[in-house]
Amino acid sequence: MEVLTRVDDDRIAAQRQRDEFFWLDLYQPEPAELDELGRLLHLHPIALEDTKEFGQRPKVDTYEDNLLVVFYTARVTENPDRVVEPVEVHVYVSGGYIVTIRHDKCTLLDEMHTTLVPEKTHNEDYLVYRIFDSLTDAFYPAIEALEKRLDALEAQVLARARPEQRPHIYRLRQDIRELHRLVSAQRDQFHAVAESMRSLAGLSRGSREYLRDVGDHLVQVAGEFQRQIDDLQALTGTYFAANSDRLNAVATRITIAGTLFLAWTLVTGFFGQNFGWLVNHINGFHHFLIFGVGGLVVPTVVLLGLFWLKRHDWF
């Protein structure tokens, strides 16, 4: 199978004339290049308009001799604020070609430029399956990267919940929800995509079960994203519970300190009264040690002992 990476009029015309199936993978094409592609392959103007604009929802549009599949995959980024971002790919499938158009890098597609060349099969739907399967498999590294970030956030929250962790949790959940929404839409409509491909004139059908495998992978990927959303929901609850426990611990310390100060105030207030007997009979260093220091130390030891026993649930 011929693999092209730019709109080459002569090579495309030669492939069409020989009626040989080829793959054209375009990365960030110019509008003029898309217009030339539409002229060579007789693509519908509405389909070309969608491809020029991008930002489409996952869908399949069937035309007379080809179909347009707006398919999403994902890639891991170097951005610490966004671990994974979706990659929109427009796939044109016909009996004589498959065209993929994208604005973002996709490593697995780039690697397939060389891996598909030695393929000896003449089953064109198998080659179409290989491309869709690679786009779907790109979700698995993304899921692994998201899982690592989720585990790191969970470890930080369990160690000590901080206010700056909450925006990271919400942002990660938002990103995963976006991926889940895209994958769920593709999962729900992929059966229709497969049936539309099988009905294309001129597309060989030697391996009908392969496209079903892509649908199974989409179900699995959607399930993984749903699990991560549930884990983040649980992590949010853990965050607030940890903050509540921390607040309770602070309130407990304040209560203990307040109780001690209450006892100290009671003792010092009693001996600070200006009654004649207290003024005339309590004097000297030994009275200071007994009534002054002892009057503060004894209730402090008693109260701290009670708090210690209470903490260990002795009563």
Q: Return the beta strands (E) in the chain as ranges.
A: 2-4, 22-27, 59-62, 66-76, 84-94, 97-102
> Range with the lowest mean pLDDT among 43-52, 76-85, 106-115, 119-128?
119-128
Contact 295, 251 (CB under 8 A): no
278: number of CA atoms within 13 Å, CB side? 11
> Residue 208: is it exposed, middle or buried by C-beta count within 10 angstroms (0-12/13-18/19+)?
middle
Provide the edge-to-edge strand list for the sheet that holds 2-4: 2-4, 22-27, 97-102, 84-94, 66-76, 59-62
The answer to whether 214 touches 136, Cβ cutoff 8 Å, is yes
Q: Which residue has the higher pLDDT, 43 or 310?
A: 43
Spell out the residues 6+ positions from residue 191 whose beta carbon is closer than 8 angstroms to its own. 215
Task: Calculate what percentage of the chain has a pLDDT beyond 70.
Answer: 94
pLDDT value of residue 256 = 84
For residues 271-283, one letter each, b for 16 or more C-beta atoms within 10 angstroms of the residue's C-beta and e for the rest, the string is: eeeeeeeeeeeee
Q: Is the pTM here over 0.85, yes or no?
A: no
Q: Distance between CA 271 and CA 288 in Å, rounded?
A: 11
Which residue, among 142, 2, 22, has the nearest Cα to 72 in the 3D structure? 142
Secondary structure, 3-state, 157-201: HHHCCCCCHHHHHHHHHHHHHHHHHHHHHHHHHHHHHHHHHHCCC
Residue 107 φ then ψ, to 5°: -60, -40
Confidence of residue 91 (pLDDT cuts 50, 70, 90): very high
Reduce the DSSP state of residue 245 to 3 states and report it: helix
Per-residue pLDDT tens digits for 134-171? 899 999 999 999 999 999 999 988 888 888 888 899 99
- Could you give the angle at the alpha carbon of 177 between the alpha carbons of 171 and 178, nearest 5°? 95
The residue among 93, 56, 115 whose CA lies nearest residue 193 is: 93
